[in-house]
Amino acid sequence: MKILNTALGIAAYCMLSMTNLSATSMTDDEITKADYKKLIKMLTPLAGSTPAQWRVVWSGDTTTTATVSWSTAVSGKKHTLHYGTKPFGTDVAKYENHLECKKSGAYSINAKEAETTKTAFYHHVPMTGLMPNTKYYFVMESDGEFSRQLYFKTCPKAENFKLLVGGDSRSGLASRCRMNLRLAKELKEKPEIVALNHGGDYIGSGHSWRQWRQWLSHHELTTLEDGRVLPIIPTRGNHDGGPIFFEVFNLDKMTDKHSFWHTISLGEDVQIITLDTNYSAKGPQEKWLTKQLSTIRPKTTWLLTNYHRPLYPAVKSPAGQTAVFVPLFEKYNVDLALESDGHCIKRTVPIRDGKKDASGVVYIGEGGLGVGQYRPKEDLWYLKNGGYVSRGHHVMQLSFSKDALNIETILMNGKVTDTHTLKPRAK
Amino acid sequence: MHIKHLESLKFGLAIVIALVFTATFTMNYFHEGTSLSKYITKQLELDRVKEVEAVAYTDMMLYADELTPVSEDVDLTEKAGSEEGFQRSQQIRFVDKNVTLVLMIVAWLMLIPALQRKRALSFIYLLMGMYLALLSVCKGLNGGSAFSEWAVPAHATRWLPCIALWLWLYLKPSSAENPYRVVKWMLIVSVSMTFATHGMEAIQLNPAFRDLLIGGFETISVTVFGPVSEVLLRLIGVMDVALALLIIFFQRKLWFLWMAAWGALTALSRPIAFGDILWEDALLRSGNCLIPVIIILWIYRKNTQTTKV
Ligand SMILES: [Fe+2]
């Protein structure tokens, strides 16, 4: 029965791929009502050594580096990434580069799930020496099984670009999938979008492989029919505990078990410092943050911070790290702070010293990539008189240029519910 | 004389419980819903979107797993729209707020001696204890925060004293001192459980504890570096666990005094370390300090009485 179902799944997948049923050709209305079962049939089943669950992960310098990762159901012997700046379809020999995967392993599975579920295997191929603002075509190969040709674009060095920002895709599988369709549609309509910054809480329990594998498969819906992949910038949420987060995004565990922070450089003008609100603010994280802020601030036009639990929340109480992070953000004049976790839409007024201040930091969030929404507190001083608060599945779009940072909040149906523009700080 | 002294301790215990319910209500009203309302909301939401069936369908189609048997024709259309789901979550939130409001009022009303004497009303404390224990269970089920799976023993100084007080009020006043031993033991066990759990969390370097430790030292201009903070935190953890075990075997005043001081310091450590006043937070933890105080008074009184006799 199991084999029959897999066969049926693969057959359905092949048929749908051939008919090129495209998610991004759906209308906005169709996206909000998309049928979960139909969407699942469009995804690559995890079977044998067929490359599935691909993703492009960004950390560090995104103009010259990226990691292509995928999963296979069996461990396999040889996993190779064929890539280059010219498309050759599955004629893999013609690609300029062939990198053999050196970072493969089994996704961790907890003892309870292991009784009934098999784990799968990850494969990571980090690429360096890429050219900025360039399309890289790639095909993944595992033991002679090939993926279709996919591609992604490296971040431009100085040109204008857009970044999608969202978080909280942990429950509501259909809503998560529909939001992925939304991301894909935005990417298709605005090719200048470079990546998705996911603010964390991918799944409900970070220790559950059964939950992670669903998230990984659903992520395929963000890939366009022409093969364009939306790179992802990872953040650790409070539900993303455990080792699988690191195995999914090819991140090296830091000295302290499962803590994780990193800086993402998006060209010359935009830097994002991603923090870990599951970890102590004091000690190593504060030291690292201070150093990052002091070295980056003088050099960059747009300095953003990103972390999961809000410091100026619209739903819950402030994160434990607030007293440490906020003074540092204000001292080093962070332009924008990206938050998740509250399951609502919010944009604060600029804040300095606990007051509205034009020179302060704006905080936006708080997660709507599928999770059910909470009612935000509309009467908080930092959300009134120039701030914005609402609820609904959403993603935010940041448009960067040298003289403006435009923020748009886009709902599942494509409607823009809030816009705001930041001007660069005087040097 | 001794009975009279016990009466005042009983009153003290009722005050601690009233403080805990005041904190529970305030946090619920001004910050976020209780773990119980979050748990119910999430379960209803998962039911609305037929999450179990959707997961089973995905498992079958993409991973050839049939953990939960599901037909390929399963209807995965959501049971109700997302707005309906949201409205229902608002109703739960409304009930949630009012339940904590009523419990707070009742907890303060129960300080009236005439009400405390009514044995039938003692069951209110049993219900309160069960309610607080349920909140801890739900916190564990909801997950998403460090060590939330240990919430039931960690919060023992909140829920167990309620059950102890129920027993205390329910026992016939005419009965001798002995039945109250159970009550005293429940209080000792509650302190022991909370300390042991916090100790285990410290040994495993709970990030929130580390922030409080480093932040606390900074207020007296002492910088504690990363590795030092780890060693200190582990030592504190070992001390907590050791005390938790010791008080089960030997009830010494000094140890409870130490625990009361430590309980007060940790409950107030947030405002001390960071200057932000989350008084509800400190109030919620007031039992960590006040329950050991009640135990001290109990032992102290007993000792002086014995010496007098
Ligand atoms: Fe969260």
Q: What would the pLDDT profile of B123-180 be if each residue is shown by its tens digit?
A: 999 999 999 999 999 999 988 887 888 999 999 999 999 999 999 888 866 555 566 7
Whether residue A172 and residue B45 make contact (CB cut-off 8 A), yes or no, is: yes
Judge contact between A307 and A278, C-beta under 8 A: no
Chain B residues touching residue A172 (CB < 8 angstroms): 45, 49, 51
pLDDT tens string A27-59? 999 999 999 999 999 999 999 999 999 999 999
Taking CB atoms within 8 Å and a gap of at least 24, the contacts of A99-108 are A99/A125, A99/A127, A101/A125, A103/A250, A104/A75, A104/A76, A104/A79, A105/A247, A106/A75, A107/A71, A107/A209, A107/A212, A107/A213, A107/A244, A107/A247, A107/A248, A108/A207, A108/A209, A108/A242, A108/A243, A108/A244, A108/A247
pLDDT tens string A256-285? 556 788 899 999 999 999 999 988 888 888
HSE-CB for B41 with a 13 A CA cutoff = 27
pLDDT of residue A1: 47
Burial class (CB in 10 A: 0-12, 13-18, 19+), B15: middle
Q: Report the b/e string of A10-23 with b at 16+ CB within 10 A.
A: bebbeeeeeeeeeb
- The tokens of B88 are what? 């229902």
Best CA proximity match to B22, nearest among B132, B100, B99: B100
Dist. CA B139 → ligand 1 center (Å): 14
- Report the C-alpha dihedral over residues B251, B257, B258, B260, rounded to 10 degrees: 110
Distance CA A412, CA A173 (A): 14
Chain B residues touching residue A277 (CB < 8 angstroms): none
Judge contact between A373 and A173, C-beta under 8 A: no
Mean pLDDT of A183-191: 95
Best CA proximity match to A81, nearest among A139, A26, A35, A11: A139
pLDDT of residue B303: 59
pLDDT of residue B307: 43
Grouping H, G, I as helix, E, B as strand and the rest as coil, residue B115 is helix
Dist. CA A140 → ligand 1 center (Å): 33
Question: Is B43 part of any domain?
Answer: no
At position B36, the amino acid (one-letter code) is L
List residues, by chain if needed, whose CB lies under 5 Å from ion ligand 1: A 201, 237-238, 341
pLDDT at A22 over 60: no
Contacts of A11 (CB under 8 A, 6+ apart): none
Give B266 to chain A, closest Cα distance, Å: 15
Higher confidence at residue B94 or residue A4? B94
DSSP H helices, chain B, are: 2-30, 35-48, 51-63, 82-109, 113-117, 123-142, 151-154, 156-170, 180-203, 207-219, 226-249, 253-274, 279-284, 286-308
Task: Indicate the pLDDT class of residue A122, thresholds 50, 70 and 90.
Answer: very high
Question: Is A228 part of any domain?
Answer: yes
Domain holding A389, by residue range, is 161-422
pLDDT at A6 over 70: no
Grouping H, G, I as helix, E, B as strand and the rest as coil, residue A142 is strand
- Residue A273, beta-bridge partner list: A263, A305
| Angle of the B253-274 helix axis to the B207-219 helix axis, nearest 10 | 80
Question: Is A107 part of any domain?
Answer: no
Judge contact between B121 and B110, C-beta under 8 A: yes
pLDDT of residue A102: 85
CB pairs A-B closer than 8 Å: 138
Task: State ipTM.
Answer: 0.88
Measured from the Cβ of residue B174, the count of other Cβ atoms closer than 10 Å reads 5
Task: Indicate the pLDDT class of residue A140, thresholds 50, 70 and 90.
Answer: very high
Question: Is A70 part of any domain?
Answer: no
At position B135, the amino acid (one-letter code) is L
- CB-based contact, B69 to chain A, within 8 Å: no
pLDDT at A255 over 70: no
In the block, residue with structure tokens 């800086």: A263
Mean pLDDT of A201-224: 95
pLDDT tens string A69-81? 999 999 999 999 9
Q: Tally DSSP H helices, then E strands, for chain A.
A: 9, 25
Distance CA A249, CA A271 (A): 20
Structural domain count, chain B:
1
Q: Between β-strands A270-274 and A262-266, what pairing exists: parallel, antiparallel or unpaired? A: antiparallel
Chain B residues touching residue A3 (CB < 8 angstroms): 64
Whether residue B46 and residue A238 make contact (CB cut-off 8 A), yes or no, is: no
Give the CATH number of the domain where residue A409 resides: 3.60.21.10
Distance of CA A351 to the CA centre of its chain: 27
Distance CA A80, CA A125 (A): 8
Write the DSSP string, A191-214: TTEEEEEE-S--SS-TT-HHHHHH
Dist. CA B177 → ligand 1 center (Å): 50
Mean pLDDT of A190-212: 95
* Touching B: A residues 36-65, CB under 8 Å: 36-37, 40-41, 43-47
Task: Indicate the pLDDT class of residue A17, thresholds 50, 70 and 90.
Answer: very low
Mean pLDDT of B61-87: 87
Judge contact between A336 and A302, C-beta under 8 A: yes
- Give the whole-number percent of chain B exceeding pLDDT 70: 91
Question: Is A138 part of any domain?
Answer: no
Grouping H, G, I as helix, E, B as strand and the rest as coil, residue B12 is helix
pLDDT at A19 over 60: no
Mean pLDDT of A155-177: 93
Mean pLDDT of A346-372: 95
Measured from the Cβ of residue A424, the count of other Cβ atoms closer than 10 Å reads 15
Higher confidence at residue B307 or residue A188? A188
Higher confidence at residue B302 or residue A131? A131
Chain A residues touching residue B210 (CB < 8 angstroms): 280, 282-283
Which site among B48, B62, B92 would you substitute to test the A interface, given the most A Cβ atoms closer than 10 Å to its Cβ?
B62
Question: Is B132 part of any domain?
Answer: yes
pLDDT at B219 over 80: no
Task: Indicate the pLDDT class of residue B308, thresholds 50, 70 and 90.
Answer: very low
pLDDT of residue A320: 84
Judge contact between A48 and A72, C-beta under 8 A: yes
pLDDT of residue A7: 54
Whether residue A46 and residue B76 make contact (CB cut-off 8 A), yes or no, is: no
Contacts of B308 (CB under 8 A, 6+ apart): none
Mean pLDDT of B105-126: 92
Whether residue B146 and residue A278 make contact (CB cut-off 8 A), yes or no, is: yes
Task: Indicate the pLDDT class of residue A20, thresholds 50, 70 and 90.
Answer: very low
Question: Is A244 part of any domain?
Answer: yes
Distance CA A344, CA A390 (A): 6
B73-87, B147-161, B178-192: range with highest mean pLDDT: B147-161
- CB-based contact, A372 to chain B, within 8 Å: yes
Question: Is B93 part of any domain?
Answer: no
Taken in order A403, A407, A410, A416, the sign of the CA dihedral is negative
A189-198, B83-92, B173-182: range with highest mean pLDDT: A189-198
Question: Is B127 part of any domain?
Answer: yes
Distance CA B130, CA B236 (A): 31
pLDDT at B49 over 80: yes
Structural domain count, chain A:
1
Question: Is A117 part of any domain?
Answer: no
Question: Is A42 part of any domain?
Answer: no
At position B89, the amino acid (one-letter code) is S
pLDDT of residue B12: 92
Chain B residues touching residue A217 (CB < 8 angstroms): 58, 62
Lowest mean pLDDT segment, chosen from A213-222, B194-203, B224-233: B224-233
Length of chain B equals 309
Whether residue B82 and residue A372 make contact (CB cut-off 8 A), yes or no, is: yes
Judge contact between B61 and B73, C-beta under 8 A: no
pLDDT of residue B3: 63
At position A3, the amino acid (one-letter code) is I
Best CA proximity match to B259, nearest among B200, B207, B188: B188
pLDDT of residue B72: 86
Dist. CA A376 → ligand 1 center (Å): 15
Mean pLDDT of B265-269: 81
Domain holding B302, by residue range, is 3-24+111-308
Best CA proximity match to A303, nearest among A343, A327, A274: A274
Lowest mean pLDDT segment, chosen from A7-11, A223-227, B28-32, B92-96: A7-11
